Amino acid sequence: MSTQGMVEELLELSPRNVLLGALTVLVAYHLWLLIQKWFDTESPPGPLPWPIVGNAPQLGNTPHLSFARMAQKYGDVFQIKLGNRPVVVLNGDAIKQALVKKGVDFAGRPNFISFQFVSNGKSMAFGDYNEWWKVHRRVAHSTVRAFSTGNINTKRAFENHAISEMKELIQIFLSKTAEEKYFVPHEYLVISVANIMSAVCFGSRYSYDDIEFQQVVGRNDKFTQTVGAGSIVDVMPWLTYFPNPVKTLFEQFRDLNKEFNEFIMNKVLEHRKSIEPGIIRDMTDAFIQALDKGISGTVGVVLGKDYVSPTIGDIFGASQDTLSTASQWVILTILRHPQLQKALQDEVDQVVPRTRLPTVEDQARLPYVMAFIYEVMRYTSFIPVTIPHSTTADTSINGYRIPKNTVVFVNQWSSNHDPKKWTRPEEFDPLRFLDEDGALDKDQASNVLIFSVGKRRCIGEELSKMQLFLFTAMLVHQCEFKADPEFPISMECSYGLTLKPKPFRVACSLRDSLDLLDSVVRLPFHSQADQEEESN
């Protein structure tokens, strides 16, 4: 055949030729990328991306594990592409190098489409790093402390909310065991955690049958599926233009944010109707009183009354899925290792007599309980990758150049399972957190990476540790848990911002009587002014 004939045949739009053409473009594109990468020694290394989707298909159902595998090949700092967007993934020691040593450079949040829906775009947690964010974070952090770990009185007030709620939870557990023998605890843990934070934030709690509350707090898993690192809609927003599962999930995300924002705004409105000057009943009152006056930052920056709802929304929202997921892992771990349940009970029994319930003051004398909690956090790494970050300036890490506005994923899981840092990281062993005298090894505990580090470090860390301590100590002091022998215990989980265990079934029985729990009386809500007076 003549050359002209061949060209004519190729130009014919037959299926074979279209396929051939597409393959040629694909191969050429890959070669082009390969050549680019070869000469670009300044950018982090990483796998070659595909056109349109980038490396998204390589993340699979467990992106944190895929990232850890890629880190073995490319090093602690590598780069992938999601859709068309370059993403730098930080693993192991590179995390502290970036987030602590170059804190400001890595403190941004990407301009993701999903983030705009959280608190109508006024969220501190999902907002970018700037002067407004600094004031916002300062007021949120100090208020969380003032209602939880600030001093012994605030700790006691928080403890009272937590213990009153644990009483309800244990009663539900007992009645479900009586009805069903083995039951799935998930939804009760969600409501229980939400009620503790509702008491702190709004001064009220909800019944376990309240449908409205169940809806507002029970769909957090949809929220965390969308904002978790590797969520597709943010890097391929064109997927929202035609029907597909990503679009459906995104629409659910938009609707649940709308519903959640309305719930919070109604709470704030109710508070505004009954608030009295100088009296602070709960966190919402505290934010109203502070923000209505305006809180100033650098010149020209004043955070005003329109930030009340977003701030309380950030705190109430951020605490739900995190603490309820942590509680699920605590119970699942106890079921998986019955000998640990016994060890926990033995320690608590030595310190807390059967005539009273555990208190916050017991925490220092219960190192094994704390070691267990740290090991649950390390082993499960149930927030495997933080909320996505972005760079606020052109910067570098481990010698690689990273331009301003690059999306950054922080793989906490990789640090918690790094064999250089942990002996046999794949084993669950609370003893790794105790020193030879049996005291909590604080240095080792501080190596657990689950609340992140640097400028974006979680503001609920201390509150969460106190809450998880009270939860674990109370449960083992009062109850005995058994797994359903017909369902093998699985540590399998579903991925999102939080890793959630697959539903499991449990039976709960009392170790003694209900007398101690019956004696728990909910304290009247303290005003912050009272608390400050008492502590002086």
Binding site, annotated residues: 458
Distance, CA of 429 to CA of 34 (rounded, Å)? 44
Q: Which of 282, 314, 362, 441 binds ligand HEM (CB under 6 A)?
A: 314
Task: For residue 311, state whether it binds ligand HEM (rule: CB under 6 A).
Answer: no
Point out which span in 9-17, 182-190, 314-322, 482-490 binds ligand HEM (CB under 6 A).
Answer: 314-322
Task: For residue 326, state whether it binds ligand HEM (rule: CB under 6 A).
Answer: yes
Distance, CA of 455 to CA of 98 (rounded, Å)? 11
- Identity of the residue, 280 or 483, whose beta carbon is nearer to ligand HEM in the bound complex: 280
Distance, CA of 302 to CA of 287 (rounded, Å)? 14
Task: For residue 415, state whether it binds ligand HEM (rule: CB under 6 A).
Answer: no
Task: For residue 458, state whether it binds ligand HEM (rule: CB under 6 A).
Answer: yes
Task: For residue 464, state whether it binds ligand HEM (rule: CB under 6 A).
Answer: yes
Q: Which of 90, 172, 331, 450 binds ligand HEM (CB under 6 A)?
A: 450
Distance, CA of 423 to CA of 389 (rounded, Å)? 30
CB of 21 to ligand HEM, least distance (A): 44
State the alpha helices, DSSP H only, in 275-307.
283-293
Site track 348-387 with ligand HEM (rule: CB under 6 A), x = hit: -----------------------------------x--xx
CB of 314 to ligand HEM, least distance (A): 5
Point out which span in 6-14, 258-266, 458-466, 504-512 binds ligand HEM (CB under 6 A).
Answer: 458-466
How far, CA to CA in Å, does 384 sit from each of 149, 282, 409, 464? 26, 32, 10, 17
Q: DSSP state, 420?
A: T
Site track 140-169 with ligand HEM (rule: CB under 6 A), x = hit: x---x-------------------------
Site track 97-136 with ligand HEM (rule: CB under 6 A), x = hit: ----------------------------x-----------
Q: DSSP state, 99?
A: I
Q: Which of 213, 451, 469, 471 binds ligand HEM (CB under 6 A)?
A: 451
Strands 407-410 and 479-483: what pairing? unpaired
Point out which span in 39-47, 64-72, 161-169, 448-456 binds ligand HEM (CB under 6 A).
Answer: 448-456
CB of 28 to ligand HEM, least distance (A): 39
Beta bridge partners of residue 87, listed in sequence order: 80, 407
- Identity of the residue, 314 or 375, whose beta carbon is nearer to ligand HEM in the bound complex: 314
CB 461 within 8 A of CB 314: no
How many other C-beta atoms are found inside a 10 Å radius of the C-beta of residue 214? 17
- Identity of the residue, 326 or 470, whose beta carbon is nearer to ligand HEM in the bound complex: 326
- Identity of the residue, 499 or 507, whose beta carbon is nearer to ligand HEM in the bound complex: 499
- Identity of the residue, 144 or 397, whose beta carbon is nearer to ligand HEM in the bound complex: 144
The token duo for 535 is 């502590």
Max Cα distance, the chain (Å): 100
Task: For residue 220, state whether it binds ligand HEM (rule: CB under 6 A).
Answer: no
Point out which span in 61-69, 249-257, 359-367, 454-462 binds ligand HEM (CB under 6 A).
Answer: 454-462
Q: Following DSSP, what letter does each residue of 54-82 receive, concatenated? A: BTHHHHTT-HHHHHHHHHHHH-SEEEEEE
Q: Which of 199, 288, 323, 348 binds ligand HEM (CB under 6 A)?
A: 323
CA 215 to chain centre: 20
Task: For residue 318, state whether it binds ligand HEM (rule: CB under 6 A).
Answer: yes
Q: Which of 315, 357, 466, 508 binds ligand HEM (CB under 6 A)?
A: 315
- Identity of the residue, 183 or 379, whose beta carbon is nearer to ligand HEM in the bound complex: 379
Q: Tell me how many residues contact ligand HEM (CB under 6 A).
A: 24
Strands 85-90 and 407-410: what pairing? parallel
Angle between helices 461-478 and 308-336 (to 10 degrees): 40
Sign of CA dihedral 197, 198, 199, 202: positive
Task: For residue 474, state whether it binds ligand HEM (rule: CB under 6 A).
Answer: no
CB of 115 to ligand HEM, least distance (A): 11
The token duo for 364 is 């220092």
Residue with tokens 């602690």: 76
Rg value, the chain, Cα: 26
Q: What are phi and psi of 397, to 5 degrees?
A: -150, 135
Sign of CA dihedral 227, 233, 237, 241: negative
Distance, CA of 240 to CA of 231 (rounded, Å)? 13
From the annotation, which residues make up the binding site for heme? 458
CB of 129 to ligand HEM, least distance (A): 9
Q: Give me the residues that bind ligand HEM (CB under 6 A), please.
A: 125, 137, 140, 144, 314-315, 318-319, 322-323, 326, 383, 386-387, 410, 450-452, 456, 458-460, 463-464
